[in-house]
Amino acid sequence: MMIRGPPGPRIVTYCVTYWYGGEHLDTFNEKLGLRVPEHVAVILDGNGRWAKKRLMPRTYGHYQGSKVVEDMLHVVDDMGVKYFTVYAFSTENWNRSKDEVDTLMKILRTYLVDCVAKSMKNNVRCRVIGRPDGLSQDILDSIHNLEEKTKNNTGLNFTIAINYGGRDEIRRAVKSIADEVAAGKVKPDDITEQMIAQHLDTRELPDPDLLIRTSGEERLSNFLPWQLAYTEFYFTSVLWPDFNEKEMIKAIEKYNKRERRFGGVKEEQA
């Protein structure tokens, strides 16, 4: 993980058409000066409920949700976001029904393969974080191919969390450091926060500035617990398949109203 101070403000001018309470408000040609977060992370929640509301199987919601990920890649890239991370499949998701897990794996297989050409076309660098254990060999091969093919791309950094659990990530990092201590490579007194961060899956990424969770749930569900220490949270009742450009701008507008102090205080309070 790259350790860095808070990024300087980036201002984006955006035009969008809003709908509020059924009332149309056209803001075309209006300028919205927004500080764009460097790193946006998203917990993609609500696919199953979205499908159920339409009397469709939960799996249909997951297919629609994968399409929204594609849409959001273009949106955040156009806005100037540099890092975009999505929680695609958690270590706890294995507890779902076999049919649902099989469908999620099928979607991942297709997505990882298709993502190569799209990422090369759009200069997107792709990474996958999480445990390889439990994933089929063809999925592991697709992950390796995606990361290798896109590793020299210089545009948006897109990270997919697959078979990921935050506590498991920290456990693996601690075990790795413990092995180095046992081998005499590291002294216990030399262990720092930076060292732990360098043993996490996200060691090449800055911590998220903004976390978005859809569907109305207000918890982290074991997603990036170490990295989200000073992240701004945005919870919305919108289900992930309904999330769009307008909703992303709402989230960033809310982010702009926050004052990030990273444990400090306002000057007038000092």
Residue stretches of the annotated binding site: 45-50, 58, 62, 90-92, 94, 96, 213, 219-221, 232
For residue 13, give the 3-state DSSP assignment: strand
Distance CA 132, CA 117 (A): 23
> If residue 64 lies in a helix (H) or strand (E), which one and from where to where?
helix 58-79
- Annotated binding residues for substrate, as ranges? 46-50, 58, 62, 90-92, 94, 96, 213, 219-221
Specify the length of the chain in residues: 270
Residue 87: beta bridge partners?
43, 161
| Residue 45 is among the residues annotated as catalytic for this protein | yes
d(CA 103, CA 62): 8
Report the b/e string of 212-223 with b at 16+ CB within 10 A.
bbbbeeeebebb
Tell me the C-alpha distance between 59 and 52, whole Å: 10
Of the candidates 117, 51, 48, 47, the residue with the CA atom closest to the CA atom of residue 86: 47
Catalytic residue among 26, 29, 45, 133: 45
Catalytic residue among 77, 93, 242, 256: 93
Binding-site residues for Mg(2+) = 45, 232
95 is catalytic: no
Which residues does the annotation mark as catalytic? 45, 93
